[in-house]
Chains A and B, each alone.
Chain A
Amino acid sequence: MLLTERERLHDELAELVTRYGRDRSSLLFILQEVQRRHYHISQYAMQVIADLLDIHPVEVHSVVSFYSFLDERPQGQFVIRLCRTITCDMAGKDHVARQLENDLGIKFGETTPDGKFSLDWANCLGMCDRGPALLVNQQVHTQVTPEKVHGILQECRQTFGVHATSDGRETRT
Chain B
Amino acid sequence: MAKPTPTAGVSTRAPASQRSRTAEMLQHAKAMGKTIEVAIDGSPIAVPLGTSILEAAGQLGIRIPTLCYHEDLCLAGVCRVCVVEIEGQRTLQAACSYPISSPINVKTHTSKVRRARRHIIDLLLSSHVGECYTCSRNQSCELRELAAEYGVDFFRFGHVQKPRYEIDASSHAVVRDMNKCVLCRRCIRTCIDLQEVGVLEALYRGNRSKVGTFLDRPLADVVCINCGQCINRCPTGALRANDPTDEVWDAIDDPRKHVLIQTAPSPRAAIGECFGLEPGHAVTFELNTALRRCGFDRVFDTDFSADLTIIEEGVELLLRLKRALVDGDASVALPQFTSCSPGWVKYVEHFYPERLAHLSSAKSPQQMFGALLKTYYAQINELDPRDIVTVALMPCSAKKFECNRPEMCASGHKDIDYGLTTRELAKMIHEAGIDLLKLPKSGFDDPFGTATGSGVIFGATGGVMEAALRTVVELVTGLKIEKLFDHADVIPVRGFEGIRYAELPISQIGPVPELVAHLFDNWDFLKDVTLKVGVAHGTANAKRVMEDIKAGGRFSQCHFIEFMACPGGCLGGGGQPSPTSPAIRAARA
Binding site for B on A (CB under 8 A): 43, 46, 55-59, 61-62, 65-67
Contacts and interface: CB of A to CB of B under 8 A. Distances in A.
Contact of A58 (B204, B205, B213): B213
A55 B202 CA distance: 15
B99 interface: no
A59 B201 contact: yes
B214 A61 contact: yes
B203 A65 contact: yes
B214 A57 contact: yes
Interface string B282-326: 000000000000000000000000000000000000000000000
Interface residues of B, number: 14
B203 A61 contact: yes
A51 B492 CA distance: 32
B202 A62 contact: yes
Interface stretch (B16-24, B192-200, B242-250, B456-464): B192-200
B330 interface: no
A129 B110 CA distance: 43
A57 B192 CA distance: 11
Contact of A59 (B192, B204, B205, B215): B192
19 contacts: A46-B214, A55-B198, A56-B198, A56-B214, A57-B198, A58-B200, A58-B201, A58-B213, A58-B214, A59-B192, A59-B201, A61-B203, A61-B215, A62-B201, A62-B203, A65-B205, A66-B203, A66-B205, A67-B205
Contact of A43 (B198, B212, B213, B215): B215
A58 B201 CA distance: 6
A139 B282 CA distance: 69
Interface in B212-242: 212-215, 222
A59 B198 contact: yes
Instruction: Name, among B198, B199, B201, the residue most crowded by chain A CB atoms within 10 Å (CB to CB).
Output: B201
A61 B214 CA distance: 6
The 8 A-B residue pairs whose C-beta atoms are closest, nearest first, are: A56-B198, A62-B201, A58-B214, A58-B201, A57-B214, A65-B203, A66-B205, A65-B204
A56 B213 CA distance: 10
Interface of B: 192, 198-205, 212-215, 222
Contacts of B192: 56, 59
The prevalent SS among residues of A at the interface is helix
Nearest to A62: B201
A133 to B, nearest CB: 21
Nearest to B208: A65
B454 to A, nearest CB: 38
Instruction: Name, among A43, A61, A62, A67, the residue most crowded by chain B CB atoms within 10 Å (CB to CB).
Output: A62
Contacts of B200: 58
A98 B448 CA distance: 78
A18 B500 CA distance: 36
Contacts of A46: 214
A63 to B, nearest CB: 9
Nearest to B217: A58
A36 B299 CA distance: 64
A43 B215 CA distance: 8
A149 B222 CA distance: 45
Contacts of B212: 58
A46 B198 CA distance: 14
A72 B577 CA distance: 39
A1 B357 CA distance: 33
B367 to A, nearest CB: 30
Nearest to B210: A65
Nearest to A66: B205
A66 B204 CA distance: 4
A62 B200 CA distance: 9
A59 B215 CA distance: 11
Contacts of A61: 201, 203, 214-215
Instruction: Name, among B203, B204, B212, B214, the residue most crowded by chain A CB atoms within 10 Å (CB to CB).
Output: B214
Contacts of B198: 55-59
Contacts of B203: 61-62, 65-66
A67 B209 CA distance: 12
Contacts of B201: 56, 58-59, 61-62
A109 to B, nearest CB: 14
Nearest to A60: B214
Contact of B199 (A43, A58, A66, A67): A58
A109 B369 CA distance: 57
Contacts of A55: 198
Contacts of B204: 65-66
Nearest to A47: B214
Contacts of B202: 62, 66
Instruction: Name, among A43, A55, A59, the residue most crowded by chain B CB atoms within 10 Å (CB to CB).
Output: A59
Nearest to B203: A65
A40 B497 CA distance: 42
Contacts of A43: 215
Given A56-B192, A58-B222, 4 more contacts: A46-B214, A56-B214, A59-B192, A65-B203
B196 to A, nearest CB: 9
A65 B214 CA distance: 11
Contacts of B199: 56, 58
A66 B200 CA distance: 15
B160 to A, nearest CB: 22
A125 B211 CA distance: 29
